[in-house]
Structure 1
């Protein structure tokens, strides 16, 4: 696990339709407006990805910096969900072996463009969400 100076930042693939829907899902439920978002295609997102060894041109994971620690793959998704109001119950999924959780995560990540599609350009958030985007 790596550290990063900004906290509660979610790194995502901005051209991935599934990933962009994930960000909208989180933003809608994050009533405390705790999380901020950065597309891997942005300058900030590229620096963050490179700091954690993620290839910005071929990302295979999302990442979230929470509690000063970077979480990846299923750990990242469960960390975010577990911090959302009404979603704390998902923390029980940490009991599922990481090998199993990440196998499912990797299957979806590898096929995300084929299954869900891809934007030609980075997803543009609405005005309310734009205030939470780090570029």
Structure 2
């Protein structure tokens, strides 16, 4: 089964992250679903997660991961030096999630510093999105 990433489709930073993953995901292991879509809400509900939770989620092996754990598990599957980020899984989750929260709260500011627009996925990559 493919891994599924649930992301905030209205966030430029989140969209840039998705495009980064698309570039590094040579094995095409991930499909993408917008958190605010009906399918996204339904998936969250099936894992007893409130649809109002603002986070990044990874569904893999019938488990759901959020925040820093989701991000680091994704990084571990990608090509390149991003795999090295998995060493941070050794850091206790509460500490990792504090760092994740700081980035998350500032994601709109971070995204606007580089661009106000999102890149559209290629026609091949669009098949991996459920929005």
Short-chain TM bin: 0.7 to 0.9
- CA–CA separation in structure 2 for the residues paired with 1:108 and 1:75: 14
Measured after TM superposition, the shift of residue 96 of structure 1 is 1.4
What does residue 38 of structure 1 align with?
Answer: 33
| Structure 2 unmatched ranges of 5 or more | 113-117
What is the CA deviation profile of residues 56-107 of structure 1, one whole-angstrom value per residue up to 9, with x for unaligned ones? Answer: 4xx4211001222111000000000101123322211111121111001111
Equivalent position of 1:127 in the other structure: 123
Contact 1:12 1:38 in 2 (8 A): yes
Quote the Cα distance in structure 2 between the aligned partners of 1:24 and 1:37.
11
Q: TM-score, normalised by structure 2?
A: 0.82
Matches of 2:87 and 2:39, distance apart in 1: 32
For the aligned residue pairs, the C-alpha RMSD in angstroms reads 2.3
Corresponding residue number in structure 2 for 1:79? 73
Compared CA separation, residues 7 and 70, structure 1 to 2 (3 A): farther
Q: For 1:51-66, what aligned pairs fall within 5 Å after superposition?
A: 51-52=46-47, 53-56=49-52, 59-66=53-60
Gaps of 5+ in 1: 1-5
Higher mean C-alpha displacement, 123-132 vs 93-102: 123-132
* 1:20-35 paired onto structure 2 within 5 Å: 20-35=15-30
**Which residue pairs with 2:115 in the alignment?**
none
Give runs of aligned pairs for residues 64-103 of structure 1, distance below 5 A. 64-86=58-80, 87-103=82-98
Give the total of aligned pairs.
125
Deviation at 1:124, TM superposition (A): 5.2
